[in-house]
Amino acid sequence: MKNILRIFSIAVIGMMALVSCEPIENRQEMTGSVTKEEVMKYVKVIPIQLESLEKPGTMVTSNYVSFRSDGLRALTSFTYGVGTFAGTFADSVQAFVVAGEQAVWVNILNPDGTVPSWSPVEFPVDVQEAFNVDPEWALFCGTGEKTWTWNGGEDGNALVWGNGGYRDNRQPSWWGRTLADIGTETNAEGEGKDAVMVFSANGATLTKIRTNNTTQAGTFSFDMSKRKTSAGNSPLWADESTDPAILWSIGKFYTSNVTVLVGKMQNKGEGPVNDYDILKLTEDEIVLAWPEEGDNTGDWGGCWYWMFKAVE
């Protein structure tokens, strides 16, 4: 009887060993590099057709796209407009925030962990009409890309950067720089008069182009639900029902790996400022603010202001 049990145990162990080997065999099949031809065969980037808001009854190519890479023996991620999707399929993604000729870039990771030299692969998309897009994208980026610079006022002598009272002033009021002397700080060389910022909806990028022929690029985002009331009003954060007359800011603006021109923490170590209150945003003007103690700054406390205008 013991011999029979011993033989049975050996057989079970042998069967388990065979079963445990199967995933290894599958992984071995997933080695090597995929070809660009395989990508073009299996990857599908399909713009979604919607009824036009401008011409009811007419179907147009929207800013929504579906992604598929089923059957491709590689990992995929899709880079588009202002975001990235990683996976094999998505039925509907708001890929772009402006109309026009756009592109989805498909990034490939081979089963062996290598990236093909020809990756990413471009899939063009012609967006005829953008749906459900925050209007601020068009204000920041125009029809896709828009350039901004310092706003010195009609005579060029207005203060373009400086400080004032938090949740009180809406421009530099205590001290500031004009176009004549902005950018003279050692850690903001080339960011004065004639320096520009380029906002692009493709990747939500912000690029500073300095007058010393250097550039700095990063990304930006915004949250128009983060509105603040004027000094003395409570609560600090305003909701949709708040009387616009008591609003001080209309949203928040964020940057990553870049700042706006002369975007530094003056009087606070001169580090980069990446979190701004939006006081004004139109087709022609942007006014940003940064309180020295963040949202904990008391009413009328120290706050810095940036005044920009669109380049015609």
pLDDT for 185: 78
Per-residue pLDDT band for 134 (boundaries 50, 70, 90) equals very high
- The stretch 45-72 carries a mean pLDDT of 96
Give the mean pLDDT of 22-26.
37
Say whether both 112 and 142 belong to one domain.
no
308 touches 148 (CB < 8 A): yes
End residue of a domain, out of 133, 148, 174: 133
Q: Is the pLDDT of residue 238 over 70?
A: yes
Asked if residue 13 is part of any domain, the answer here is: no
Specify whether 195 is located in the same domain as 274: yes
Instruction: State mean pLDDT over 141-166.
Output: 96
Say if 256 falls within a structural domain. yes
Give 31's pLDDT tier (boundaries 50, 70, 90): low
Looking at the fold, whether 288 and 184 belong to one and the same domain comes out as yes
User: What is the rounded average pLDDT of the residues 103-109?
Assistant: 96
User: Prior bond to 244 cis, omega within 30?
Assistant: no
Average pLDDT, the chain: 89
Does 113 lie in the same domain as 92? yes
3-state class (DSSP) for residue 187:
helix
Mean pLDDT of the region 139-153: 96
Over range 81-91, report the average pLDDT: 93
DSSP 116-163: -TT-SEEEEEEES---S--THHHHHHTTSEEEEEE---SSS-S--EEE
pLDDT of 75 above 90: yes
> Is 16's pLDDT higher than 80?
no
Is 8 inside any structural domain? no
Higher pLDDT, residue 18 or 92:
92
Q: What is the pTM of this model?
A: 0.83
Same domain, 212 and 68: no
195 plus 123 within the same structural domain:
no
Q: In terms of domains, do 143 and 262 share one? A: yes
Token duo for residue 164? 């004032």
Chosen domain end from 117, 133, 149: 133
Whether residue 21 is predicted with pLDDT greater than 50 in this model: the reply is no
Range of the domain at 255: 137-310
C-alpha span between 254 and 121 (Å, rounded): 30
pLDDT of 30 over the 90 cut: no
Per the CB < 8 A criterion, the answer to whether 101 and 126 are in contact is yes
Nearest CA to 115 out of 43, 26, 205, 39 is that of 39
pLDDT, average across residues 172-185:
92
Q: Which pLDDT does position 186 carry in this prediction?
A: 76
Position 13 confidence tier, pLDDT thresholds 50, 70, 90:
very low
pLDDT band for 181, please (50, 70, 90 cuts): very high
Domain for residue 25, yes or no?
A: no
- Tell me, yes or no, whether 77 and 159 share the same domain: no
The reply to whether 167 and 66 lie within a common domain is no
3-state helix, strand, coil in the chain (%, to 5): 15, 40, 45
- Please state, in angstroms and as integers, the Cα–Cα distance from residue 168 to each residue in 196, 229, 236, 242, 247, following that order: 28, 9, 13, 17, 10
Taking a C-beta distance cutoff of 8 angstroms, is the pair 286, 256 a contact? Answer: no
Kindly state whether residues 145 and 118 are assigned to the same domain. Answer: no
The answer to whether residues 120 and 144 belong to one domain is no
Query: Would you say residue 31 lies in a domain?
Result: no
The CATH code of the domain that includes 115 is: 2.60.40.10
Q: Is residue 269 one of the residues assigned to a domain?
A: yes
How many domains, the chain? 2
Domain boundary (133, 158, 174) is at 133
**Is residue 202 a part of any domain in this protein?**
yes
**Pair 86, 107 in one domain:** yes
Q: Do the domain assignments include residue 7?
A: no
